Amino acid sequence: MRSRSVTLEDVASAAGVSYQTVSRVLNHSDQVAEQTRKRVEAAMQALNYVPNRVAQQLAGKNTRTLGLATSDLALLAPAQIASAIQQRTSQLGYHLVIAMADEGGAQQAVSDLLSQRVDALLINVPLDALAAQQIERMAASLPCLFLDVADDANVASCSFSAHTGARQGAEHLLQLGHQRIALLNGPADSVAARARTAVWRQVLEEHHLTPFRQLEGDWSAQSGYLAVIQLTGQALPTGLLVANDQMALGAMQALHQMGVAVPAEVSVVGYDDTADSAWYQPPLTTVRQDMRHLGERSVQWLTGQLEQPCRQAPLPPFATDLVVRASTAAPRAAKRLAHPIATELRRLAQQLDNDVP
């Protein structure tokens, strides 16, 4: 026979308090003495008491539950962010419910979360301004924070500066002397992909250049491989800007199969600085986005909105950093040019030495 579930009254009896006091502890009320709180928590642990969140929802109470609508967790960046959100949520005494935005899109994922009566929403799905505002209307009075939204969206957001990050990668290749620079971007319907492309093109234009080639993938390593392998037998760029590290991995594998050396013949710059990028062959130069920091700060901001509404200042875009590793170098043409110049300088220096009396 199945044993009876432990009730709130059981906990109250074991702790020697009223069931109202147990309820206050569950709701993190500051009207409970610390000693009493510890006694109640010890009783809950001893009895393996699990709060009935469904009953709390039906009663219209705050359940300390956040909802996360996210892109495909098979991709490293969304997975890292979700992991950080899960950990920080638990540390702050909240629950997390996750819904994947797949064929049904972001609105379906948000609808699923709202049906579970979450208290607030984190949206880590690439959205333009209109789609973000539609989701905000769906959520009604619930606090929402968007992690991958267009700059012109009038919603609360927590994200990295695409302008800074994309510029760092492009300027790195230009400073090395590259002029034939190709772009390997994410899907055209991605807000982040479009923002990175716009900045890359702007930086190239500032140097009177246009993209040598423009390729597209779907963020996966396979798509990076397929985008680059199609260039077999064609003129190649000397530099390749890639919109994420996974596609960069696929691109480098394609170049290897084509017999093209990285970075001797083609330099590759990734984006994200995922945990594996330092172990690519060669180690990947990339734009670092601290995904864990983004996840943690987003939870802190959103729970702050729940606990002290309207007191949380807007979050400015987070900074990015260029991490230079072994996948980038000066193009061969620049190296060939440097050699005769250096030789001529040495000859002139020797001549000056000989002319000195």
Q: Which of 103-107, 265-269, 271-275 has the highest mean pLDDT?
A: 265-269
222 pLDDT above the threshold of 90: yes
Architecture per CATH, domain 8-51, reads as Orthogonal Bundle (1.10)
The answer to whether the CB of 147 falls within 8 A of the CB of 158 is yes
151 pLDDT above the threshold of 50: yes
* 241-262 tens-digit pLDDT: 999 999 999 999 999 999 999 9
Domain residue limits, the chain:
8-51, 65-160+292-307, 162-288+321-337
Residue 81: closest CA among 69, 91, 95: 69
Q: Which residue has the higher pLDDT, 259 or 338?
A: 259
∠ CA 350-354-357, nearest 5°, is 145
The pLDDT assigned to 338 comes to 38
Q: Range with the lowest mean pLDDT among 23-27, 55-59, 333-337? A: 333-337
* 78-93 tens-digit pLDDT: 999 999 999 999 999 9
Is residue 48 left, alpha or beta, with left meaning phi > 0 and alpha meaning psi from -120 to 50?
left
The pLDDT assigned to 307 comes to 86
Is residue 8 left, alpha or beta, with left meaning phi > 0 and alpha meaning psi from -120 to 50?
alpha
Distance separating alpha carbons of residues 336 and 355, to the nearest angstrom: 30
321 pLDDT above the threshold of 90: yes
Q: Which amino acid is at 108?
A: Q
CATH of domain 162-288+321-337: 3.40.50.2300
The pLDDT assigned to 2 comes to 42
Residue carrying the six token digits 């393996």: 48
Tell me the average pLDDT across 301-330: 89
Fold held by 65-160+292-307? Rossmann fold (3.40.50)
Q: Which residue has the higher pLDDT, 173 or 20?
A: 173
Tell me the average pLDDT across 289-317: 88
pTM, rounded to two decimals: 0.75
pLDDT over 70 percentage in the chain:
86
334 pLDDT above the threshold of 50: no
DSSP per-residue string spanning 130-169? HHHHHHHHHTTTS-EEESSB-TT--S-B--B-HHHHHHHH
Question: Coil, helix or strand for 181?
Answer: strand
Tell me the average pLDDT across 274-287: 95
189 pLDDT above the threshold of 80: yes
* 14-48 tens-digit pLDDT: 999 987 788 778 766 677 888 998 898 898 888 87
